[in-house]
Amino acid sequence: MFNRKMLLAVAAVGLAASAYAGGQNDAGCGLGSMLFKEDKPVHQIVAATTNGTSGNQTFGITTGTLGCTSGGLLKASKEREVFVATNFRALEREMAAGKGEYASSLGSLMGCGAHSDKFLSFSKANYETLFPKGATPEMLLENLGRGIAADPVLAQVCGV
């Protein structure tokens, strides 16, 4: 009984120290962090315990819910947006040619990394559809998503 209490006390101190170290809720995202928002060590411990025992943190990270906005699908979408906006002109050139580092990187961000050659061939063959006159980065991503979904091969191998 004493060993169990000692182990619990050590775990509580360790969690409290890590929670106290930051100026924000360090229990992580998840249901526990949403229910116990105060930045007091005891609240952080209860939040972390709730997250750990209910297993909801994995769901939140994957879906970008339960306060988990720095990872999961939302993060991947944001990464694509930033990448395309930053490298739009280079992507336009490389996707027209069906080769290049930027185009390959976009393929990876679209979930086609293992099938980069198929993504590059698709981008070259569908250049006019992907980059209509006056295209913007947002339009490229929309057109690319629709094009991948409509292509039987890429729809199977890409994670969009």
88 and 131, same structural domain? yes
pLDDT at 142 over 70: yes
20 and 82, same structural domain? no
151 and 77, same structural domain? yes
pLDDT at 131 over 50: yes
Mean pLDDT of the chain: 76
51 and 6, same structural domain? yes
Q: Percentage of the chain surpassing pLDDT 70? A: 63
CA atoms within 13 A on the CB side of 136: 3
Instruction: Please state the domain count of the chain.
Output: 2
Q: Which residues contact 130 (CB under 8 A, 6 or more apart)?
A: 95, 123, 140, 143, 144, 147
Cβ distance 20 to 14 under 8 Å? no
pLDDT at 27 over 60: yes
The pLDDT score that the predictor gives to residue 78 is 83
Confidence class of residue 23 from pLDDT cuts 50, 70 and 90? very low
Confidence class of residue 68 from pLDDT cuts 50, 70 and 90? low
pLDDT at 91 over 90: yes
52 and 118, same structural domain? no
Q: How many residues are recorded in the chain?
A: 160
b/e per residue 4-23 (b: at least 16 CB within 10 A): eeeeeeeeeeebbeebeeee
Q: What is the rounded average pLDDT of the residues 35-49?
A: 73
| Inter-helix orientation angle 41-54/2-21, to 10° | 110
103 and 48, same structural domain? no
Selection from 120, 117, 142, 116 nearest residue 129 by Cα: 142
Let me know if residue 68 belongs to a domain.
no
pTM of the shown model: 0.55
pLDDT at 88 over 80: yes
